[in-house]
Structure 1
Amino acid sequence: MKITQLTVTNFRLLENITINIEDDITLIVGKNNTGKTSLFEVINLFFDTKNRISFHDFSLNSHDVFKLCDAKFQNELLVEIEDDKKDEIEKSLINDIPKITLSIQVEYDKVKDSLINISDFISDLDDTKSDATILFKYEPKETINLFRSFHNRPNKDVELIEWLNENISSFYTLHVFGGENLIEDHVLTKILSVINFETIQASRKLDDTKMDKNRSLALGFSDYYQNIHGDNNADVESLKDTLKSVSTVLDGKYEKVLEKILEKLKSFGIDKDINIPEIILKSKFDPESIIRNNIKYYYKSGDIELPENYNGLGYSNLIFLVLKIVAFIENFKKNKEKNATEILTILIEEPEAHLHPQMQQVFVEQIRETISKALIEDSIQVQLIISTHSSHMIAEAGLNVKRSFERIRYFNKYKKEDRTIVEVKDFNEFKHKETDKDTFRFLKQYLNLHKCDLFFADKVIMVEGITEKILMPLFIRKVAKQLENEYVSIIEVGGAYTHKFKEFFKFLNTKVLVITDIDSVDAMTNKSCHVLKEMANTSNSTLSTWLPQKTKISELLALTFDEKLDESKIIRVAFQIKEDDGDFVPRSLENAIINCNQTFFKSKYLLEDEIEKEVYKSFSFQKLKNIDELIYMDTSRDQSDVDPSSKQKTDFTFDLMTFDEKGTNLEWKVPKYIKEGLEWLSKNEHLLTVKVD
């Protein structure tokens, strides 16, 4: 028996999402503030007996629905209308008024699983089906009475949303359904007999100071003991017997040490008929309390034993996580044997906290081995739902396994008609996986080895080489400083492979700037040539096959701003173009920088000893001395004469990075094609406004 799907409506950012759950590990990933934590919160709220749901938990989008329902009530039910029309409106209000819901779909095996516990949640008697639904609904007790009470409120200045914030708990209640059937008796007991959620939160109480009062290992080991002490474990029973023997010996010792005070207490009293009762001392040892409070845990370091707080948070957190998971599994195993529950799902929020990349790998290996062992040896299935901001966690748990992308659920946020919508992208539905298996294989391999952080990036810049990647932060600082406040992932991909990311970025709905070289070649010889040479083509496959799907240089240079965007408007290409004050079109980034900084490279500045120095002499690329030779308009010349070598590109990049602009009071400029692209990327009016299918 296992969970196959979770559906949430109207809870905070989660207006309406459905998540398919894997048999073992499901990874919840995405940018900040996309509702990942809300998923865990709604589960924990509904499984909490106190059920502290408030009006703040309703999605912001639901506020408008409340207002529409109230308007319908006042405009139609408060006037004289026919009874059948009135009933129709009442039904409409009951149906439309916002409700916070959590639906848990469970799949069972009719042969292997006992259906006793889940029988209340099976509403469909179709023998061909093998699933059941547990549905939580936070809904009105009386819909019409809610709006009537608001209409009759004493203070008419109080608006609906403000009034609901103060009064909704009086009109809403929690109902649980098994399919369509309302469960009324022993509700929580029946639910827990089917499924148990255990949670390890991100804010774990860990400390590595000398005054460590949390003592995470003590907590972890005592939790583990608590789950196994009733399992007829011979070692546990031996521990109890030993503690009983120690207690008997200590009873006598205590009595001997405190003998005099005990005798004196017998003689005290208020009067002769009321005396202090005789006191008997008994020592009592509880194994769990001893493990938690009376055992000190040490790390072995050579021949020295170091206290728990002397080790880093990483080790403590790793051990704590593993102990908690093992304890959950042991407890589940015990309850399953007693037919007390059927499903265990562990929610782990940001397990990477305090874990460096290698420890994250160890953690994933440990839990994978643990749940696999539980399935093989004990025939129990454990499902883990992990939310993470770690690219290493994705690589280990999501990509380095047989089922790779399929484990990932990507939370994405976009705007539609001024409403913020969160959707869940399931990589089982990534169409490119089937239509182009070579590309899909490339993406898996690339993301595994390089850039899993694309799943968390606000925006992405794709560049061809290391030169662009190194200089990009400087470009951003100069022309698009707003991007420094966002998580921008800069990835280096050769021009021949850039187009392979097309479907991936559309699937993620991430805003992307592709910066590439125009790569002009002679149409006849296919050798590099001047960009403005007649009949020149581009050899760049990104430009010819993806965006903008043009081969002729003349057509590329004639493109308008909008024509450099793809149909979704969230991906834009940038390649070399002429500057505003000239007609030369460079062929490479280095040439573009030189072209737009001719005045800069020809300038002079004073050294500390007042000696004047020419800027170009600060660069090892000595061809800068004759800039006119590099920026030429003779289209018949061989372009290879001015194309810098790889070493020259690298040297030029580092020279540009280390040039003291402040000290010399000289600044270099960003080429126009990159400036335009970064300015477009920094703007957010188009971001998240288009839902890409």
Structure 2
Amino acid sequence: MKEIEFNDGVNVIIGHNNAGKSNLIKALALVLDFQGTKRLDVDDFNKYISLEDLKANPPKVSICISINQSVGEDLNSDDLVTVGNWLTKLEEPYEASITYEFFLPEKEKADYLEAINTATDLNIAWKIIMHDFIRLYVYKIWGGSTTTRTVADSESLQKFDFQFLDAIRDVERDMLTGKNTLLRSVLDFFMDYEIKCNTGKSEEDKKVEIKTKRQEFSNNADSLILDLQRRMKEGKEQILSYAKDTGASFNNAIPNFEGSISEVEMFSALKLIVEYESGLKIPATRNGLGYNNLIFISLLLSKMQVNSDGKYLGSNAKVFPILAIEEPEAHLHPAMQYQFLRFLKKNKLEKKVRQIFVSTHSTHITSSVSLDEMICLHNEAEETTVGYPGKVFPSDGKSKKYVQRFLDATKSDMLFAQKVILVEGLAEQLLISILARYLSVSLDGKHIAVINVGGRFFDHFLHLFDSQKPDTLNKKIVCLTDRDPERKKRIAGGSYTKCYPFEYNQDSTTYEYKNNASADKYPVTTHPNIVFFSQSIDKGKTFEYDLILHNPSLELLITDSMSNKEEIKELMFFYKNNKPMSDYAIKLRDSDENKRIIDSINANTSFTEDDKFRAIIASRYLNSVGKGENALELACVLEENLNKKDEESDYQEFIVPDYIKQAIEWICQ
């Protein structure tokens, strides 16, 4: 059994494909949509139930909706009157419940058990249910506690106005002429609206004024009908002469033409058009589907306003107007999506709709709503979990504000992906997916998103995903962080500065040392779904440094935007040809930084000679790159090289750094 809490307002339901978003909307409709279909099929059951469970009891679907008293709601409101027979908690705030059940009647259970116990596997069991028993299933909607088995009265159920827009719909069929009941009812309600909404007039005066206008219209319409009859006088005689000849005037019954027309009947002559500033008018049928969907939604909300107007519909007025929309982005470009969300929120504030449910894959929509309005579904190993991003942060609000500002249309992809790799910077963001392909792994194919958090700000985001805490998004998270060793002199007022791996812990008398503490925060097996990976503590520094450390002779990694290109190429040549340390020292141009590198390398007593040669090249490489442009160029050259792997002989072997390899292997498990 899965429980989901909704907001009293906008609910944006997000998640990766097959996480259960559409099923959630359908479940709401089964309970609340009075006019919708209620019967289910065999494929609507939970297919992961065991054969033993099927042999014990016939499968059923049960959906319970709890209705809670709204903040500030008056106990004399129509809400309480509607749900009064379904109350499960009498004291304030009151609670009521409605439960939909699709089940096999008790009288059929004996035959079911006899038949199902012949099944030797699940496939056979489901075939027995489909062929012999699904037609016998019934549905009921219970009001209040299910133990009482009290059927919810249809009059109260009809007070719910549940309007559902699916992702694939024919809006032209649904709205574009006055012949359609949706448009006709909206037009009828808003006819003479300037009179109906005039607060300076009494209800009696409004009725008299509207009645007068209708009478004027009827008189004018009658004149038009008379004019038609005059113009048809001679022609009518010709038409009716055929009727007489065929015997249609039998028993002195003579056919004739007569008629009148009302305002509502006149609506059928209206067609929705779009008029441009230039004066050009085109039928709405010529609009794009996205534009027409916006028009349709606006009409539907107008209709919901009509349905809930007690003065117009009296006791037939709806009490709970609810709008559910599946994947609005299917027909709307990003700018329209932003506008659409603002439009929905405005209608909620104006109380034209009570609750709004939007299921979406759109990062543009999630970037324009608050964390409190999101409900995240995640399915892992056929187990669906529910996360509430607005509830997971510490009470000081600092991390929540940071994440809310951070989630733009690109970065909110972390909420949709099945798994996430969080990285510090642009280089990793651009390159991790390509490095994975060198390991024969497609991150896209496994629905793994790489998100750049712009520094060591992982903790803000880990509140969202920490599965050891309630309401979080339970998905696997990798954090890739640089080792970044530092040191400071043991003197008063000294401050930490960056150092090289070959300097780290080499002179504890003169220096204090530290590295990125978060690199060791969550080693493998210490947390159920979060792991940090970083470079080696004794040889690692940054992402770019490690690329060369593992590929010290690969000139492919020397990009056009780098400085000191020729120098680094020669250092790589030295490595390939086993040149001595003296050649490296001579080649490095004369500078304080290069002197520091050589002196520190020579003083290091823990590195092998090969370690030292690699470290020199990696240090010079790191000091010669500009992060952004170099990353773009590296992404291009590494992808081009990878594309040659199965086609050409000039493919160059590239080794993925160990910590990246370990991270990708772990998240793909």
The bucket for the TM-score relative to the shorter chain is: 0.7 to 0.9
2:114 equivalent to 1:151: yes
What is the CA deviation profile of residues 385-425 of structure 1, one whole-angstrom value per residue up to 9, with x for unaligned ones?
A: 111111221222x22xxxxx22211112234xxxx222322
The equivalences for 1:18-167 within 5 A come to 18-46=3-31, 47-48=34-35, 50-64=37-51, 66-69=53-56, 98-108=59-69, 109=73, 111-114=75-78, 115-122=80-87, 126-127=90-91, 130-142=94-106, 145-151=108-114, 159-167=124-132
Distance verdict in 2 for CA 1:466–1:429, change over 3 Å: closer
Question: Structure 1 pair 384/653, CA: closer, same or farther in 2 (3 Å)?
Answer: closer
Show the counterpart of 2:198: none
**CA distance change for structure 1 residues 483 and 489 in 2, over 3 Å: closer, same or farther?**
closer
Instruction: State the Cα distance separating 1:234 from its structure 2 match.
Output: 6.5
In the TM superposition, what are the counterparts of 1:553-572 in structure 2 within 5 Å?
A: 563-564=523-524, 566-568=526-528, 570-572=529-531
Matched, 1:223 2:182: yes
> How much does 1:156 deviate?
7.9
How far residue 214 of structure 1 moved from its aligned partner, in angstroms, is 4.1
Query: Which residue is 1:333 aligned to?
Result: 309
Answering whether residue 371 of structure 2 is matched by residue 408 of structure 1, we say no
Corresponding residue for residue 357 of structure 2: 385
User: Could you say if the C-alpha distance between residues 250 and 371 of structure 1 is closer, same or farther in structure 2, counting changes exceeding 3 Å?
Assistant: farther
Shift in Å, 1:38: 0.7
| Gap change, CA 1:655 and 1:424, over 3 Å in 2 | closer
**Relative to 1, partners in 2 of residues 1:475 and 1:300: Cα closer, same or farther, differing over 3 Å?**
same
| C-alpha RMSD of the superposition | 3.8
Q: For residues 438 and 600 of structure 1, what CA distance do their matches in structure 2 show?
A: 44
Match of 1:477 among 425, 437, 451: 437
> So what's the TM-score if we normalise by structure 2?
0.76
Structure 1: unaligned runs, 5 residues or longer: 1-15, 71-96, 207-212, 375-379, 400-404, 549-562, 579-583, 603-614, 685-693
The corresponding residue for 1:367 is 344
Distance 1:266 1:294, change over 3 A: farther
Residue 168 of structure 1: aligned partner: 133
Partners of 1:316 and 1:256 lie apart in 2 by: 45
Pair 1:652 & 2:612 matched? no
After the TM superposition, which residues 490-639 of structure 1 pair with which residues of structure 2 at under 5 Å, given as runs?
A: 490-506=450-466, 507-522=472-487, 524=489, 526-535=496-505, 537-543=513-519, 547-548=521-522, 563-564=523-524, 566-568=526-528, 570-577=529-536, 585-601=539-555, 620-621=562-563, 622=565, 623-625=567-569, 626-627=571-572, 634=601, 636=603
Counterpart CA distance in 1 for 2:285 and 2:498 is 64
> SS of 2:254's equivalent?
coil
Q: Secondary structure at the match of 1:202?
A: coil
Cα distance change on mapping 1:512 and 1:428 into 2, 3 Å: closer
> Contact conserved, 1:215 with 1:309, CA < 8 A, in 2?
no
Aligned to 1:425: 387
Percent identity over the alignment is 19
Q: How far is 1:113 from its partner? A: 1.1
Residue 314 (structure 1) aligned to one of 266, 284, 290: 290
Question: In the alignment, which residue of structure 1 is the partner of 2:157?
Answer: 191
Give distance in 1, aligned partners of 2:559 and 2:408: 43
Change (3 A) 1:539 1:678: closer
1:346 and 2:314 correspond: no
**Equivalent position of 1:358 in the other structure:** 335
| SS of residue paired to 2:601 | coil
SS for the counterpart of 2:459 is: helix
1:681–1:220: structure 2 CA closer, same or farther, 3 Å change rule? farther
Listed as ranges, the matches of 1:432-471 within 5 Å are: 432-434=393-395, 436-448=396-408, 451-471=411-431
Q: CA deviation at 1:456?
A: 0.7
Q: Aligned partners of 1:657, 1:618: CA distance in 2, in Å? A: 13
2:449 alignment partner AA: S
Pair 1:600–1:284, CA change in 2 (3 A): farther
The alpha carbon displacement at 1:620 in A equals 4.0
Report how far residue 294 of structure 1 moved.
Answer: 4.8
Structure 2 gap ranges (5+): 195-209, 467-471, 490-494, 507-512, 576-583, 589-596, 605-614
Q: 1:296 to 1:337 in 2, by over 3 A?
A: closer
Q: Where does residue 367 of structure 2 map in the other structure?
A: 395
Cα distance in structure 2, aligned partners of 1:643 and 1:527 = 19
Aligned: 1:299 with 2:243: no
What code does the residue aligned with 2:433 have?
P
Cα 1:470–1:129 shift into 2, 3 Å = closer
Per-residue displacement from partner, 1:567-615 (whole Å, max 9, x unpaired)? 11x323222249xxxxx9342222222233334328xxxxxxxxxxxx9
Are the equivalent residues in 2 in contact too, given 1:476–1:483 (CA < 8 A)? Answer: yes
Give per-residue Cα distances to partners, 1:425-446, cap 9 Å, x unaligned: 234542x242x52122211221
Instruction: Say which SS state the counterpart of residue 377 (structure 2) adopts.
Output: strand
> Does the CA-based 8 Å contact 2:186-2:302 persist in structure 1?
no
The answer to whether the Cα contact below 8 Å between 1:266 and 1:275 also exists between their aligned partners in 2 is no
CA distance in 1, matches of 2:559, 2:119: 77
**Secondary structure class of the residue paired with 1:183:** coil
Residue 228 of structure 1 and its aligned partner are, at CA, apart by 5.3
Contact 1:576–1:586 (CA under 8 A) maintained in structure 2: yes
Q: Distance in 2 between matches of 1:288 and 1:427?
A: 48
Contact 1:24/1:383, CA 8 A, preserved across alignment: yes
The question of whether the paired residues in 1 share the 8 Å contact of 2:364 and 2:409 is answered with no
Do 1:413 and 1:422's aligned partners in 2 also have CA atoms closer than 8 Å?
yes
- CA deviations over 1:356-395 (Å, ceiling 9, x no partner): 2211111111122122223xxxxx7621111111122122
Change in Cα spacing, 1:643 to 1:636, as seen in structure 2 (3 Å) is: farther
1:33 CA drift (Å): 0.5
CA distance in structure 1 between the partners assigned to 2:631 and 2:463 by the alignment: 32
> What residue identity is the alignment partner of 2:439?
V
Q: Tell me what 1:7 maps to.
A: none
Aligned to 2:132, the other structure's residue is in SS state helix
Once residues 337 and 28 of structure 2 are traced to their aligned partners in structure 1, the CA distance between those partners, rounded to angstroms, is 25
What is the rounded CA distance, in whole Å, between the counterparts of 2:380 and 2:385 in structure 1?
Answer: 8
Write the distance in 2 (CA, Å) between the matches of 1:433 and 1:284.
69
Secondary structure of the residue aligned to 1:281 is coil
Could you say what secondary structure the match of 1:27 adopts? strand
Question: Structure 2 vs 1, CA of residues 510 and 276 (structure 1 numbering), >3 Å: closer, same or farther?
Answer: farther
Query: SS state of the match for residue 585, structure 1?
Result: coil
Distance change in 2, residues 1:130/1:393 (3 Å): same
- Partner SS, residue 61 of structure 1: coil
Given that 1:513 and 1:573 are in contact with CA atoms closer than 8 Å, whether structure 2 keeps it comes out as yes
Distance 1:163 1:338, change over 3 A: same
Distance in structure 1 (CA, Å) of the matches to 2:260 and 2:281: 29
Distance 2:65 2:559 in 1: 69
Residues 230 and 251 from structure 1, CA distance in 2 versus in 1: closer, same or farther, beyond 3 angstroms?
A: farther
Amino acid at match of 1:589: F
Structural mapping, 1:192-207, within 5 Å: 192-193=158-159, 195-206=160-171
Give the count of matched residue pairs: 580
In structure 2, give the amino acid aligned to 1:535. N
Cα pair 1:104 1:133 within 8 Å, conserved: yes
